[in-house]
Amino acid sequence: MTDPIGDTLVGRDELMAKITELGARISIDYEGKDLVLVGVLKGAVFFLADLARTLTVPCAIDFMAVTSYGSATDSSGVVRILKDLDHPIEGRDILIVEDIIDSGLTLSYLLKNLRSRKPASLEVCALLTKPERRRINLECRYIGFEIPNVFVVGYGLDWDERYRTLDHVAGVRAAAIAELTGA
Ligand code: IMP
Ligand code: MG
């Protein structure tokens, strides 16, 4: 079997430098606000944990788990909530923390859902984005890295629940995906 882990797209040091930069911007923008970081399980866990520790403003942390039906590498846009937030968000300043925006369908559903709960503000911080794959237009205030159209793993991102614990972001080799899907 082909080793699925290919080229490094974002190395460990680059990740940490960018997260420090994002944290500094967020700390300025949310001075005096009632910030709640909403992490999207499970992919955003490592990113959220590192980002939250760079903030100089107080924040609460809550999580949602969603699943979008589809294959291991493609989302369908039909989203189901597996775990909802523990607390109401009405009147609070919500920052959704996401691992990656691919088609944008998951995030678009989340934004609509959370907006209906009447937060004071609602913004998005995504570590990675794949602009070529976007199927829906989205406002995302904080973005770490734009990456090309390759399936990636590591630093929270999985391929069928594997490789989340890699300390960097790497591409999955096309040959490995082809072996799995028989394509
Ligand atoms: P979207 O709804 O197509 O934007 O997909 C969003 C979700 O799909 C992300 O939160 C990830 O969990 C997953 N996803 C999308 N692209 C990748 C990837 O390249 N590697 C791992 N997971 C991905
Ligand atoms: Mg996933």
Q: What is the pLDDT of residues 72-88, one digit of tens each?
A: 667 777 789 999 999 99
- Closest Cα to atom 9, ligand 1: which residue? 100
β-bridge pairing 152-153 and 169-172: antiparallel
| 29 occurs within a structural domain | yes
What is the 157 CA–ligand 1 centroid distance (Å)? 8
Question: Which atom from ligand 1 is nearest to the alpha carbon of 159?
Answer: 21
Ligand nearest to the CA of 96: 1
Pocket lined around ligand 1, Cβ cut-off 6 Å? 43, 68, 75, 98-107, 151-153, 157-158
The sign of the dihedral angle between the CA atoms of 28, 31, 33, 34 is positive
What is the 28 CA–ligand 1 centroid distance (Å)? 29
Q: What CATH number did the domain enclosing 41 receive?
A: 3.40.50.2020
Q: How far apart are CA 35 and CA 55, in angstroms?
A: 11
Q: How far is CA 83 from the centre of its chain?
A: 16
| 2 occurs within a structural domain | no
- Count of domains in the chain? 1
| 52 occurs within a structural domain | yes
What is the 58 CA–ligand 1 centroid distance (Å)? 29
pLDDT by residue for the chain (183 residues), tens only, comes to 788 999 999 999 999 999 999 999 999 999 999 999 999 999 999 999 999 999 999 999 999 999 877 666 677 777 899 999 999 999 999 999 999 999 999 999 999 999 999 999 999 999 999 999 898 989 899 999 999 999 999 999 999 999 999 999 999 999 998 888 776
Pocket test for ligand 1, best of 10, 74, 98, 100 (most atoms within 8 A of CB): 100
Distances (CA, A) of 83 to 42, 67, 78, 139: 11, 10, 16, 24
- Domain hosting residue 18, numbered range: 12-149
| Reported pTM | 0.94
Pocket test for ligand 1, best of 75, 97, 149 (most atoms within 8 A of CB): 75
Q: Which two tokens stand for residue 149?
A: 């159209």
Q: How far apart are CA 9 and CA 4, in angstroms?
A: 14
- Closest Cα to atom 17, ligand 1: which residue? 151
Distances (CA, A) of 101 to 44, 58, 65, 91, 157: 11, 26, 15, 26, 12
| 35 occurs within a structural domain | yes
| 56 occurs within a structural domain | yes
| 172 occurs within a structural domain | no
| 144 occurs within a structural domain | yes
